[in-house]
A and B are shown apart, each in its own frame.
Chain A
Amino acid sequence: MTLDLQVLTLHGALKGLAAGEFSTAELIREALLRVDATDARIEAWVEVQARQAMELALAADRRRSIGTPTAPLLGIPIGVKDIFDIAGMRTRCNMESRLECVEAVRDSDAVHALRRDGAILLGKTVTQEAAAGVVSDPARNPWDTDRIPGGSSGGSAAALAAGTCLGALGSDTAGSIRIPASVTGLAGLKPTWGRLSAKGVFPLAPTMDTVGPLAKTVHDAAILYLSLAGRQKEIPTLADRFPEAGGSLAGKRIGVLRSFFLDHVQPDVATALQDAVAQLGELGAEIVECDWAEAEAAQSVALITSRVESAAVHRKDLRHTPELMGEALRSRVEVGAVLTADTYLRTRQVRLALRDSIANVYRAHRLDAIVAPTLPATAPRADEDVITYRDGSTEPVGTAFTRLTSPWNTTGQPVISVSCGFDQNQLPIGLSFVGRPDQELELCDLAHAYEREAGWYKQTPDL
């Protein structure tokens, strides 16, 4: 049979493998052929371990053939952002100073979890330098290869949207899972901060760094999340939880924040949000308009926290080999290096107050989730430094792309971004569902119901 990895979901692959419709070797071979066919244009992969992947695929098929109880992700090809340690591979982080770094001795906890569950790690995907930015050069967006795939998990998103793997690892400090998910039409889950281990992941701002999956569907994201959380025994139960036909949202209360999140967005994004809110209402959810007066302060807290903590992470390089740092990273950490302890401590205190304030919004309105645009704009061309709005105003891409995502890093809540339509250039638009802490699966319930009703996830880029 012909395998189309752009269409095939992770859940669909698990079903197909279990039913004997195709073998793991066929699946991995198709993924590798797809890399060969697309990566000259997409440049999503830093390094692919083709031989090892095929060996693991053959071993997986042998395990199935003798009836060995199989691991829940057995044979699933996964891309890994190049800030996660994989034993025997370099973790370069797209940093010049790490080009020839020593190979990792052991797997990061996230990689260990996926490997434990039988996933086949195809290799490393491109990230922005030190995971600090939204461009992920040289990776490109499969929907339009002149455009960026977002960042900093841009290579993971591009690899997945191009059909070269069935799931990918990302990390999110100010939006780095949700941003690339939004501009490539994928599902990207940022779990509650601290929920998943970041051990073995190169840090950016440790009090905000969050490990999470990129996937084609909410169901797929939930499968990967459970593996990463060590809850792999629950994976088989997800098929009942996330039926193909979706489900009702009767009894659910979903908030729409009136200010800040809708203030300065491209018209196509605003229209897509309105349509999505209407569909959520049609599914039975009660839509509640509300305000969070401190949203802009939460954005500021995320930026200051990120600057100071990333300066601490890169202090040695900044002092001794700053010439090896790109201008964007160097400017960022220089700012963080000269901010004072007073400023940082005040920011930490305010962060707690803001967590309380958003919790009060949920409590006052009895919300199950808040929905908002993931980004104010769709993917810009790689040669564009700014987003231009209808009124002629402009905003630097890095600022625009973290403006609506970073407040949720301040609060630490779980967020999943799913596709909610396309702009006039046929570029994907993302919708964020923001949940209560530690309620990742409950959040996925809402996002899955919307995803199935809207159906945007079925569309794939024409490569």
Chain B
Amino acid sequence: MTEDDLTAVRVRAAAAGLDLDEDRIRILTESLEGVREMIERIARIEIDPLDLALDAYQPAWTDGERGR
């Protein structure tokens, strides 16, 4: 991990209201490395970015169109 990585995590932690020492910043930076691949995998799934009907009830299971 680079100093830039650590700095970015310090900023994000402070913004989240976390008071972390340098050991915790390093642990958190490593943990975020671990989830980066998952976030990238999620980003590769194609969706309509304007489709925000998050509470739609499982439309495909009922053969219905999602109500908007």
Contacts and interface: CB of A to CB of B under 8 A. Distances in A.
B20 A354 contact: no
Contacts of B67: none
Interface residues of B, number: 36
30 contacts: A296-B41, A297-B41, A297-B42, A297-B44, A300-B42, A303-B38, A304-B39, A319-B17, A319-B19, A331-B27, A331-B28, A334-B13, A334-B24, A334-B31, A335-B32, A335-B35, A337-B13, A337-B17, A337-B18, A338-B18, A338-B32, A346-B42, A349-B54, A350-B47, A353-B45, A357-B60, A360-B60, A363-B60, A363-B63, A412-B58
Interface of B: 9, 12-13, 15-20, 24, 27-28, 31-32, 35, 37-39, 41-47, 49, 51-54, 56, 58-61, 63
B41 A335 contact: no
A44 interface: no
B46 to A, nearest CB: 8
A355 B38 contact: no
A206 interface: no
Interface in A329-359: 331, 334-335, 337-339, 343, 345-350, 352-357, 359
A174 B56 CA distance: 22
B47 A353 contact: yes
A339 B60 CA distance: 30
Nearest to A315: B17
From A331, A338, A359, A412, residue with most partner B Cβ within 10 Å:
A338
A26 interface: no
Contacts of B58: 355, 359, 412, 437
Given A335-B28, A356-B59, 6 more contacts: A296-B41, A319-B17, A331-B31, A353-B45, A353-B46, A436-B61
Contacts, number: 94
A303 B38 CA distance: 8
Contacts of A294: 45
B67 to A, nearest CB: 13
Interface in A355-373: 355-357, 359-360, 362-363
A144 B26 CA distance: 37
B68 to A, nearest CB: 13
A315 B17 CA distance: 9
A334 B60 contact: no
B54 to A, nearest CB: 5
**Which size class do A's interface residues fall under?**
35 or more
A338 B9 contact: yes
A348 to B, nearest CB: 5
A301 interface: yes
A353 B66 CA distance: 11
Contacts of A315: 17
B44 to A, nearest CB: 8
Which of B38, B43, B52, B63 has the most CB atoms of chain A within a 10 A radius of its CB? Answer: B38
A454 interface: no
Residue among B46, B54, B56 facing the most chain A CB atoms (10 A cut-off): B54
B38 to A, nearest CB: 4
A338 B42 contact: no
B11 to A, nearest CB: 9
A356 B45 CA distance: 12
Contacts of B38: 299-300, 303-304
A346 B52 CA distance: 10
B60 A359 contact: yes
Contact of A352 (B17, B41, B56): B56
B26 to A, nearest CB: 11
A140 interface: no
B10 to A, nearest CB: 10
A319 B18 contact: yes
A318 B38 CA distance: 24
B12 to A, nearest CB: 4
Contacts of B28: 331, 334-335, 338
B23 to A, nearest CB: 11
Contacts of A339: 35, 39
Interface in A304-338: 304, 307, 315, 318-319, 331, 334-335, 337-338
